[in-house]
Structure 1
Amino acid sequence: MDVAVIAEGPDGGDQLRSLRDWLVDSQELRGRVDGVERSPEIGTLGPVLDALSVALGPAGAATAFATGLIAWLRTRRGDVHIKVTLPDRSSLELTAKRVSGLDTGALQQQVTEVADLLSRQQGDRDEPERRELP
């Protein structure tokens, strides 16, 4: 199963590059994270990173992705908005505001919720599931 990850906002491409670098440090995700780019606009240099595509095959990859995503969010300063879309077009939106202060219990809960979502098959939904980290 491949999931798409987008970061909204003017620095979305930079956020995605940072997340990609973070995720590929995990042995379970090495070779599973690719950038989705679009052609540069006229007058600009280089392609624009629009999304990440993460291939989640074995069950361990979903947990590694969830763990990496939450850990990365904890390192962010300010507001970050990430949307993870599954192949059936259901999605999970994570809005993190000053998440570096998450305690161990809250961190484990977030990782478990994201890993569970990625591990189970979901039907189409009209509204994306939204989670705001404390």
Structure 2
Amino acid sequence: MMISKIKPLVFILICLLALNGCSEDIEDKENHFTSDDVLRVLESQELDLVSFGKTGYPLKLNDILPEVYSVEAPGNEDPYNPEFMHFYIFNSEKERINGTKEFNKHMERAHFTTFPFLYEKSNVLIVYWSKTKDSPLFNKPIETALEQLE
């Protein structure tokens, strides 16, 4: 009698483990973007991005160093004073959420000459360092570009 109860429980347990394993694989494959994906959609918004690579002293989040890009507006009066974007490409959306929390914690007491604006989608965090706090020049193109990430 005891054996007949154990067999269905073992079967159910095996099914649950299999379903859980499959769902994690699907989640990892969906919405996992690369820096090339981000660069492609931003450039489709006619942003002039110049790579600075992984250089300087950008903030490291969850052991991820960002790729740094300068961005210039068309007709910019001072081409030698660009604004910057940092692309953080995390391994998962959960790591990106933790990275954003870490960024905000670092920024609580910081004083800026430029102002950080954060844009998030899936495993991607973009920090756009604008010269103005009230009307960031590239807000709309960045938002539009992230909507196009698929």
Q: TM-score, normalising length from structure 1?
A: 0.34
Larger Rg: 2
Q: TM-score, normalising length from structure 2?
A: 0.31
Higher helix share goes to which structure? 2
Higher strand share goes to which structure? 1
